[in-house]
Structure 1
Amino acid sequence: MKLHLKKLGHIENAVIEDADLVVIVGDNGSGKTLLLESVALVKQAFEMNKKTIVDNVFKSVKKNSEIVTDIKKIGKELESLILNDDNQGITFNFEIKPNAEEEINEALHKEITKLINTSKQMIKERVLLDDDSIVELELLDIPKFKEETHLCSVYSFYVTDSIFITNNLDAKKQLADIFDIINLRKFIKEDMANIVDITPGDTVYRNFLNYDKLSEKFCDSLIKIFIQEILATYFFNTHTLFLPSERNTYIQNAIPKIVEQDNRSLGMRYSEHLFVKEYLNFTSAIKNYSILSNIPNEYNLLFDGTPTFNEDGEVESIVQDDKVIKKVLFSTKMNRMVPYLIINNPLKNYNTLIVEEPEAHMSLKSMTDLVNFFKYLLERKSLFITTHSDVFFTKINNLLLKNPDTSVKIYELVLENRKSNLKEIIKNEYGYKIELFSNELEELFNETIELQNGD
């Protein structure tokens, strides 16, 4: 996703693009939080509205594409699967018809433009807290269907007493909706009825089943699944966890009513509201399900021990061999690491992590430990990081020099005359040079030399 924002508060212009690692460097007050809050909001808007986009684009895609398979065999294959308690895979190919991509892309562009306009209004209300602001938002790389678009998927099914289930996660819900047939096995084996419900409001007469109608429903859902697959790599499945700079203070103030209201009515920043909701979801999962049993060892290394939780789902201690450190005695590093545990919420699958000032209050050794932890996370998630620490950025720069294949975007938010502009930093032989650090360090060096020489 590549966003172009203008007049975002005091940010005059910013073009920011996704990568496995995005680092934004900037001085205090340059607008780093505003920028990341806006990115997070757009990602959340697309995630929440993906079903609407797929449904609205569906008609155009259905008319201009086809599922390539022997659809007549579906009913018999499913009947055999039900009667024989058999697991079976069915292969489907999705193809765009010749010269049809323009109509499909017009429908897609219309839906995405509509959502971008909605996101712009939400940025005014929830990020800037100013309905009269004149922020501009544009998506620079709207995805497109191409004539050569071709996807092939194999969906495997098994049957319980009441429902068909697919082991393909993207397809699971939609296909389950089609085949939510109560006691279907009972109907087939005992011939107790002539009608079975497929979905609310639809009935299919049994001969085993009406193959034509079943096939149509089946293909309609498959087309929607294929639309999701094509768009998924772009902006779907972007569950984002935002860790703001004052996250530990926000934990102390987290109360359930926050989940039920928007951030503006609570007088909270958008990032604070996002974080508190995810923290409360995390503690609720631990409290109600007690399902956080296997924390990866990389987290234990950060804490120099194993975190334990109380009955309310909150961290209460760190166990180090035979010693227990109570939360009230946690070191600064331990406290700063607690929010990262939210990533392990088993009821969520965060694939984008936004962290403001991860180096705050950290020693040099702790920064090294944190960078090593980020290396571990980068193998599993996308990271957005802000910083104004030259030491921490140097450690990130060294990480990237050691791992040159990492997909990365480095930006500097340059503040001049109370206005900021986002500048992309291009890699040179030494990595990435940040003007903010270079200028300040040069001035510090010259001042130090003068003082030492007695000038």
Structure 2
Amino acid sequence: MKIKNLGPIKDGEIEFNNLVVIWGDNNSGKTMLTYLLYAIKEEFKSFKFELSKLSKKTHDYHNYINKGSKIFISNDEILDLYKNFQNYFEREASVLLAKYFAVDVEYFKDFKIKFSDHEIFDAMPMKRKISRGFTRIIGDGKTIENTFLFKKIKEGVEFHLEKQEIDGELLEFDNSSLTDKMIKKVFTRETFDAYLSGFFKHMTNSASNIYFPAERVGINQFREELKLSRASKTPELDEIEFSYQNNKSAPYRSYPLPVEDYIKYIFSISSIKYRQPIRKNVRKRKNLQDILEGEFIYNKDINDYEYLSENCERHIPFKIMSSSLKSMFGLSEYLNRLHPMVSGGSITIDEPEMNLHPSKQVKLIEELTELISNSNINMVLSTHSSFIARKLINIVLKNDSSVINGRVFKNENLNIYETIDGGLRKINLLKDHSYIDNFDVTSLKLDEEYFSLLGD
């Protein structure tokens, strides 16, 4: 995609990949770029794909569904639907970014974005092969339950009403027990588009999109204070459990939306529903264990999390944990509860190295690249860490020069961009790995100063 006038970035091109890494000087547009990429994926989640308006031949699709017929949607039609989303985002970009950045729309009046024809189609492929959905409606005093099947095939997708039950009894299609009035309630044109949109997002796993902002240490530390502050500004206050308003235009929202979404996520970690034991079948994450050197444990007696070190049996209250643990809290909870069969989704981390010793920064990027390979999760990272950059180089060089069985992270899975001189420069680690200006120029100057001082 081509972008213009995104804060300090006056002109540049950037593409999605399994891992997008952004580095550069302070105030050069890195965080703004991560907000933009996050906004695109978030808007995709809420966009309504209207196949019924795409062409004349599709206007009766909902009627075919009601009769149990299979609907075939070609890859070309899916591509056109995705292009409709791209056109929407290009057209409404300034308004959308004003919402995500929590600023006046005038700030983005000169912002422009232009996607390539296949941009979103390629960035959010359907990784699931099959999915089912259910509806329950009441008509003429009877309960109708419908099961819909959505299946990915090479040429596109198939969609049909797999089975239908009335008051628990399985029906044959066109059964006389259903009146015309009841049949019309099963699948209208509007419900067809809504279901199609939902299936697309489920098949791409686009609903799994999470942002870990640079502000996470403070949010993690003061999450209870934030919860009480928000509770005082909304009438929806439960004295036992705080319910976060799922309204992205809530009147009290003052932070950029990616930060607000992380606050919502942190609130959910403290919810009763979330406080379930980690599943036994979740893979032990060796790198994550090496970083934490212990684990976070919820203490119901104090209604808060504590840290239990591998080297000490004493529980440490959250408020006096180290900054590195506070930085890793949300991410570690997310990764530890990530289902091993999950395929897809997106994670964005602003400064993953925050408060981590260099040795643990290296462990973290090892964990994240393994996660990309094993779970098909896409990531965006904004970093100032030369250790993360160097470890990425080593991972790419190792995997691209060896014959390795299984799925591994390779250079083709990686896009690196440097924010520089008001633009974006793409970096190929296999060609530009011996010297990285953004990090090495500072190290070289320090070495020159050191040897100069020794010589004096």
Same topology, TM > 0.5: yes
Q: Within 2, Cα distance between the matches of 1:314 and 1:432? A: 47
Q: Does 1:245 align with 2:227?
A: no
- Secondary structure at the aligned position of 2:105 is classed as coil
Match of 1:183 among 167, 180, 184: 167
Q: Does 1:8 align with 2:6?
A: yes
Match of 1:374 among 345, 353, 368: 368
Superposed displacement of residue 187, structure 1: 7.6
Q: Where in structure 2 are the equivalents of 1:250-399 lying within 5 Å?
A: 250-251=219-220, 252-253=222-223, 254-255=226-227, 256-257=230-231, 259=245, 260=247, 262=249, 265-284=252-271, 287-288=272-273, 290-294=275-279, 296-298=283-285, 299-311=288-300, 314-318=304-308, 320=310, 323-326=313-316, 327-340=318-331, 341-343=333-335, 351-378=345-372, 379-380=374-375, 381-399=377-395
Q: Where in structure 2 are the equivalents of 1:410-425 lying within 5 Å?
A: 410-414=416-420, 416=421, 420-425=422-427
**8 Å contact kept, 2:269–2:275:** no
Aligned to 1:148: none
Give the 3 Å change call, closer, same or farther, for CA 301–453 of structure 1 in structure 2. closer
Aligned to 2:406: none
Q: Within 1, Cα distance between the matches of 2:56 and 2:314? A: 61
Give the 3 Å change call, closer, same or farther, for CA 120–349 of structure 1 in structure 2. farther
Superposed displacement of residue 162, structure 1: 6.5
Q: Within 2, Cα distance between the matches of 1:159 and 1:8? A: 43
Superposed displacement of residue 321, structure 1: 7.3
Q: Within 1, Cα distance between the matches of 2:73 and 2:253? A: 49
Give the 3 Å change call, closer, same or farther, for CA 144–162 of structure 1 in structure 2. same
Q: Where in structure 2 are the equivalents of 1:203-222 lying within 5 Å?
A: 203=183
Give the 3 Å change call, closer, same or farther, for CA 163–324 of structure 1 in structure 2. farther
Q: Within 1, Cα distance between the matches of 2:88 and 2:19? A: 28
- Secondary structure at the aligned position of 1:323 is classed as coil
Give the 3 Å change call, closer, same or farther, for CA 183–400 of structure 1 in structure 2. same
1:124 alignment partner AA: A
Q: Within 2, Cα distance between the matches of 1:144 and 1:125? A: 21
Q: Within 1, Cα distance between the matches of 2:151 and 2:306? A: 35
Task: Return 5+ residue gaps in structure 1 as ranges.
Answer: 76-91, 146-151, 205-212
Give the 3 Å change call, closer, same or farther, for CA 64–153 of structure 1 in structure 2. farther
2:439 alignment partner AA: F
Q: Within 1, Cα distance between the matches of 2:395 and 2:57? A: 49
Superposed displacement of residue 390, structure 1: 1.8
Aligned to 1:21: 19
Aligned to 2:238: none
Match of 1:403 among 385, 399, 416: 399
- Secondary structure at the aligned position of 1:359 is classed as coil
Query: Deviation string for 1:173-206 (max 9, x for gaps)?
Result: x867x86644141888xxxx953379xx5437xx
Q: Within 1, Cα distance between the matches of 2:149 and 2:15? A: 33
Paired-residue identity, %: 18
Give the 3 Å change call, closer, same or farther, for CA 59–117 of structure 1 in structure 2. closer
**8 Å contact kept, 1:357–1:385:** yes
Give the alignment's TM-score, normalised by structure 2: 0.70
**8 Å contact kept, 1:302–1:373:** no
Q: Within 2, Cα distance between the matches of 1:403 and 1:263? A: 47
**8 Å contact kept, 1:318–1:325:** yes
Aligned residues: 393
Q: Within 1, Cα distance between the matches of 2:60 and 2:455? A: 79
Q: Within 1, Cα distance between the matches of 2:192 and 2:66? A: 16
Q: Where in structure 2 are the equivalents of 1:422-433 lying within 5 Å?
A: 422-429=424-431, 431=433, 433=435
**8 Å contact kept, 2:415–2:426:** yes
Aligned to 1:118: 92
Superposed displacement of residue 121, structure 1: 1.2
**8 Å contact kept, 2:20–2:380:** yes
Indicate the structure (1 or 2) with the bigger Cα radius of gyration: 1
Q: C-alpha root-mean-square deviation of aligned residues, in Å?
A: 4.6
- Secondary structure at the aligned position of 2:364 is classed as helix
Q: Within 2, Cα distance between the matches of 1:365 and 1:268? A: 32
**8 Å contact kept, 1:413–1:421:** yes
Q: Within 2, Cα distance between the matches of 1:228 and 1:382? A: 20
Give the 3 Å change call, closer, same or farther, for CA 114–74 of structure 1 in structure 2. closer
**Higher mean Cα deviation, 121-130 or 160-169?**
160-169
Give the 3 Å change call, closer, same or farther, for CA 324–271 of structure 1 in structure 2. same
- Secondary structure at the aligned position of 1:277 is classed as helix
Which structure: greater helix fraction? 1
Aligned to 2:448: 446
Q: Within 1, Cα distance between the matches of 2:117 and 2:439? A: 32
